[in-house]
Amino acid sequence: MIKNVNIKSLIIDKPIKLDCGQTINNFPLAYETYGSLNKKKDNAILVFHALTGDQFVSGINPITKKDGWWSYAVGSGKAIDTDKYFIICANVIGGCLGSFGPSNINSKTNKIYGTTFPIITINDMVNAQHNLLEFFKIEKLFAVMGGSMGGMQVLQFVSNFPDRAKIAIPIACTSSHSAQNIAFNELGRQSIMADTNWLNGDYANHNKNPDKGLSVARMAAHITYLSKNGLQEKFGRKLQERDDLKFSFDADFQIESYLRHQGSVFVDRFDANSYLYITRAMDYFDLTKEYGGNLSKAFEKTKTKFLVISFTSDWLYPTSENKEIVIALNAIGADVAFVEIESDKGHDSFLLDVPEFLNTLKDYINNSYLTI
């Protein structure tokens, strides 16, 4: 999957005790950077990616040859301006773009880990990425930010390292993964596991791939990233390159063809086991429980300035869940701003060209940089 591509990575030689009990050491953390770190080292932004994201935030992704996943937001003159800031993004552990994950070879067995890879949590991901600060000799990041699972990592990061970021921007996320979201993730996992090529997770050692299963998982998940109105407006009941229904199970409707396409391109760039591991990490995320049912306690020690952003049509991580983070922060007098952006693009709004979102983000970042 990642052959012939130059991927920067850092070998982490400090052991990390994972939440599952195992300890990992001497493992790779793949990352990419944009812009340059200034002399004062006060312009660094750590961006966390979502479930199927990677370290290639902006520019052309060398694997997919498509725009980086946050190209609308990150770049020269954009909301997160690469002319001003030094942007770092790492592939999460458990991922499949160069960081330690289930597609790596276990040096003890000389076989690909597959599902013998340890279970990873959001906490583990963040603890691994914390090493980037030492690597770049950055005492304090200007900002940590991310959407969806990236937002969860933002919350976990500030809670684990209360004095390592000046501002934090969790977007379209939650402090505790809901039953509905666990359900959707389970649907995706079961779809992968139902593929006969999955081989109990050992497919890579047998040169096989559960493409069908992974593709259906992606199709189902993709629906949850959009909104009913958005889908209706874009596709409605439009037919795919035909004048009438074919009375078959072909992709008669454009929406069917679109989803099939989304599924098929996804399997070319993503590892099925990584999908299992990362969705599991999201399901296990419950910062509220970690702090005995009181989310405020997660942020008691921090002076970090927060901006929480949600979107009106996001039903996967709805405004109400984002507001819980705001409420927990206000309960302890933390510095928190909050806006809900009007958009019919669903959960995916944070990845797309939503001018109100991008403009607010840009001005908030630039003004905050000048004042703190």
Partner 1 sequence: MKQEFKIISDFIEKNTRVLDVGCGDGTLMEYLKTNKEIDIRGIEISKSNSQKCVSKGLTVIEGDAEKDLTQFPDSSFDFVILSQTLQAFLNPEIVIQELLRVGKKAIVTVPNFGFWKVRLHLLIKGTMPITKNLPDEWYNTPNLHMCTIKDFYNFCHDRKIKLDKALALHNEKTSPINEINLNIKNLSAELGIFLIEK
Catalytic residue IDs = 148, 314, 347
Report whether 368 contacts 42 (CB < 8 A): no
Query: Considering the rule CB under 8 A, would residue 339 count as an interface residue with partner 1?
Result: yes
Rounded distance, CA 29 to CA 9, Å? 5
- In the window 208-267, what residues touch partner 1 (CB under 8 A)? none
One of 307, 316, 354, 358 touching partner 1 (CB under 8 A): 307
Query: Considering the rule CB under 8 A, would residue 38 count as an interface residue with partner 1?
Result: no
Rounded distance, CA 152 to CA 149, Å? 5
State which residue, 172 or 219, has the beta carbon closest to partner 1.
172
Least CB distance from residue 156 to partner 1, whole Å?
22
- In the window 58-77, what residues touch partner 1 (CB under 8 A)? none
Q: Burial, 165: exposed, middle or buried (Cβ in 10 Å; 0-12, 13-18, 19+)?
A: buried
One of 177, 218, 305, 345 touching partner 1 (CB under 8 A): 305
Query: Considering the rule CB under 8 A, would residue 331 count as an interface residue with partner 1?
Result: yes
State which residue, 25 or 359, has the beta carbon closest to partner 1.
359
Comparing CA positions, the residue from 174, 166, 172, 219 lying closest to residue 192 is: 219
Least CB distance from residue 356 to partner 1, whole Å?
6
Query: Considering the rule CB under 8 A, would residue 42 count as an interface residue with partner 1?
Result: no
Q: What is the H or E stretch that residue 259 is in?
A: helix 254-269
Query: Considering the rule CB under 8 A, would residue 356 count as an interface residue with partner 1?
Result: yes
Query: Considering the rule CB under 8 A, would residue 363 count as an interface residue with partner 1?
Result: yes
State which residue, 69 or 311, has the beta carbon closest to partner 1.
311
Query: Considering the rule CB under 8 A, would residue 294 count as an interface residue with partner 1?
Result: no
- Using CB under 8 A, which of the segments 99-107, 158-166, 277-285, 338-346 binds partner 1? 338-346
Least CB distance from residue 362 to partner 1, whole Å?
8
176: which strand partners? 286
Q: How far is residue 90 from each of residues 9, 118, 300, measured CA to CA in Å? A: 9, 19, 27
Rounded distance, CA 132 to CA 36, Å? 15
Amino acid at 248: S
Query: Considering the rule CB under 8 A, would residue 194 count as an interface residue with partner 1?
Result: no
One of 134, 250, 342, 353 touching partner 1 (CB under 8 A): 342
Query: Could you tell me how far CA 303 lies from the centroid of its own chain?
Result: 25
Query: Considering the rule CB under 8 A, would residue 327 count as an interface residue with partner 1?
Result: yes
From the CB of residue 124, how many other CB atoms can be counted at a distance below 10 Å? 24
State which residue, 209 or 319, has the beta carbon closest to partner 1.
319
Distant-in-sequence, close-in-space partners of 350: CB < 8 Å, separation ≥ 6: 73, 147, 148, 171, 172, 309, 311, 357
Hey, what's the torsion of the CAs at 99, 102, 104, 110, to 10 degrees?
150
**How many residues touch partner 1 (CB under 8 A)?**
24
Comparing CA positions, the residue from 74, 71, 76, 72 lying closest to residue 45 is: 74
One of 4, 107, 200, 371 touching partner 1 (CB under 8 A): 371
State which residue, 136 or 338, has the beta carbon closest to partner 1.
338
Q: Which residues bind to partner 1, rule: CB under 8 A?
A: 305, 307, 326-327, 330-331, 333, 335-342, 356, 359-360, 363-364, 367-368, 370-371
